[in-house]
Structure formats: C-alpha cells, structure tokens
Amino acid sequence: MFLLLNINITLQNNIISSLFVGQNLLILKEVNSTNDFLKNLLSNSKPLPEGTAIMAETQYAGRGQQQNKWHSEPGKNLTFSILLNPGFLSLDEQFDLTRAMSLGVTDALEPLLGQQLKIKWPNDIYYGDKKLGGMLIENLIHGSSIKSTIVGIGLNVNQEGFPDEASNAVSVKQILQKDYDLHSLLADICSSIESWYLNLRAGKKETVRIAYLDRLYNINQPRPFKANGETFTGTITNVRSNGLLVVNTDNGEREFSLKEIEFLK
Ligand code: BTN
C-alpha cells in the first residue's frame, strides 16, 4: 500500500514523442529516490507499462553507484528512473544495456554540448574531465534472465555550484551559461534512450558496442590509475562484453571491474 501524502503527482506525457519510453510519466514533487519509488511501485501495483518513467522535482535521498549518495539541488536538475524489460538479454549481456543507456544520454546532449561529451567507464556522463551525470542501473533477475531493469539517471542541468566533496561535478548551466528546460531535455533523453534500446532489441549489439567505445572517455590515452593499492600508468584499449575494463600496462593487458580500479587525476 502506498502513502502518497505530501507527494504531488502529475501525470504528463504530452511532451515526449517516443513510442514508449516516457509515455507513462509520473512527475513527483518530492521523493527519497526515484529508483526506490519505481521499485516499490513495481512490487505493489499491477504491472506497469515498459518505458514508465518517474521524475522527481526534489530527490532527497538519491542513491549513486557503490553505495554513494547522489545530491541534487531541489528543482534544478534531472533525477528520473525508467522501467525497461530487457528479457531478450542474457545475464552475461547486461552490460549492453549500460552501453545503450549511456549512449542514449550522450546522444541527447550532443546537440547542446558537442564532442567534449564522453562516457566515462562504466556509465558516467562526462564533459571534458568533469562529471555531468551518472546512472544507477538496477536489474530484477528472474531465473537466468533479466525480468526488468530500473535505469536511474541523474544529470546536473541548472545547478550553479557544487559542494567541495563533489567538486568534480559540472552542470549544463555552468558550461552554457544559461538555464535549460528540464522537461524538454527529459523528452530528448527518453527518445534517444528508446532508439538505442531498440537497436539492442533488434540484435544490433555490435553497433552498440562500437558506438560506446567511440564515446569512451580517455580511450587509447595513457593515464594514471590505482588498483590493489598500486598506482600505475595504463591505457584503456577496450571494454569486454561483460563490462570489464581492459587496460594496457607495463605488465601487459589487465582487466578490471568497477570495484577494482580507480581513475586518478
Ligand atoms: C552515480 O554516478 O553514482 C549514479 C547516480 C545515479 C543517480 C540517479 S538520480 C535518479 C535515480 N534515483 C536514484 O536514487 N539514483 C538515480
């Protein structure tokens, strides 16, 4: 049973021109986390249409990767989650969805921000050396396939400054010196995510993998890393189908998961 007290919900789908991503759109005035809200909705209500999106004007307990928190100033940024049912992917192809979602976000932003826009492995959205956004993708597994996936996206849009601990952050406003309409950006991202997702659903994995590598931050450039307490210079050369990062080092080619490697400045 849901308690919707103090939560002002707007249903709005007249701004999004996609086929299904964002067509069932709930805009919440305030929520702890859009990912958690969507997860609860899934377990407490009748089945939701694929592409259902939850957007929060204020998200006060946003979650990030690796147990981090995601902070976002009320009303300034995009914080939303999308429901997808990628049952056509096997468990070891999960990373293809990460690729498609990252490409969806960067492609939607490209007309605004251009070529400096990159995907920092695995799925951070970067502008130059600064973080513009991130994703928390959570899979609900059934047997050996992915039943549904919640794609949570946080993007810094109109925020003008960031606290010290997030000093690597940047917003669209800081880059372009002007405010950007959140709903229209959400509409563009939904359309672009849908088109990459449909590529994947049509079996075009190789297209998605090539495009992802093409957008990858620091690919083929020597840079400093830290792994197992050791600092070294390495060059990203590839990302395995299962999502492991391939780094060429003085000791040969090494593969890392997200928990194992840190990008140094
Ligand atoms: C990261 O870079 O660590 C991922 C950040 C993901 C934040 C988004 S905001 C919308 C959705 N709801 C959450 O609680 N987290 C994601």
pLDDT tens digit sequence for 105-149 = 999 999 999 999 999 999 999 999 999 999 999 999 888 888 899
Please give the distance, rounded to the nearest whole angstrom, from the Cα atom of residue 25 to the centre of ligand 1: 18
pLDDT in the model for residue 17: 78
Q: What is the pLDDT of residues 47-76, one digit of tens each?
A: 899 999 999 999 999 999 999 999 999 999
**What tokens appear for 149 in the block?**
């996936």
Q: What's this model's pTM, rounded to 2 decimal places?
A: 0.94
- 99, 245, 155, 197 alpha-carbon torsion, rounded to 10°: 10
Q: Does residue 51's CB lie within 6 angstroms of at least one atom of ligand 1?
A: no
User: 249, 233 in Cβ contact below 8 A?
Assistant: yes
Could you tell me which residues are beta bridge partners of residue 232? 225
pLDDT in the model for residue 124: 98
Please give the distance, rounded to the nearest whole angstrom, from the Cα atom of residue 59 to the centre of ligand 1: 10
- Cα 4 to its chain centre, rounded Å, is 27
From 57, 73, 135, 151, the mutation candidate for ligand 1 (largest count of ligand atoms within 8 A of CB) is: 135
Q: Residue 99: enclosing H or E segment and its boundaries?
A: helix 94-113
Domains annotated on the chain, with CATH: 10-215 (3.30.930.10), 222-263 (2.30.30)
Please give the distance, rounded to the nearest whole angstrom, from the Cα atom of residue 224 to the centre of ligand 1: 26
Q: Does residue 70's CB lie within 6 angstroms of at least one atom of ligand 1?
A: yes
Q: Residue 7: enclosing H or E segment and its boundaries?
A: none
User: 220, 200 in Cβ contact below 8 A?
Assistant: no
pLDDT in the model for residue 3: 37
Index of the ligand 1 atom closest to the CA of residue 68: 3
**What tokens appear for 17 in the block?**
């021109």
- 58, 194, 126, 248 alpha-carbon torsion, rounded to 10°: 140
Q: Does residue 81's CB lie within 6 angstroms of at least one atom of ligand 1?
A: yes
Q: Does residue 68's CB lie within 6 angstroms of at least one atom of ligand 1?
A: yes
Q: Residue 102: enclosing H or E segment and its boundaries?
A: helix 94-113
Which parts of the chain register pLDDT below 50?
A: 1-7
User: 32, 3 in Cβ contact below 8 A?
Assistant: no
Q: Does residue 155's CB lie within 6 angstroms of at least one atom of ligand 1?
A: no
Q: Does residue 136's CB lie within 6 angstroms of at least one atom of ligand 1?
A: yes
Taken as a whole, the chain contains a residue count of 265
Please give the distance, rounded to the nearest whole angstrom, from the Cα atom of residue 159 to the centre of ligand 1: 16
User: 78, 185 in Cβ contact below 8 A?
Assistant: yes
Nearest alpha carbon, ligand 1 atom 7: 154
What is the distance between the terminal CA atoms of the chain, rounded to a whole angstrom?
47
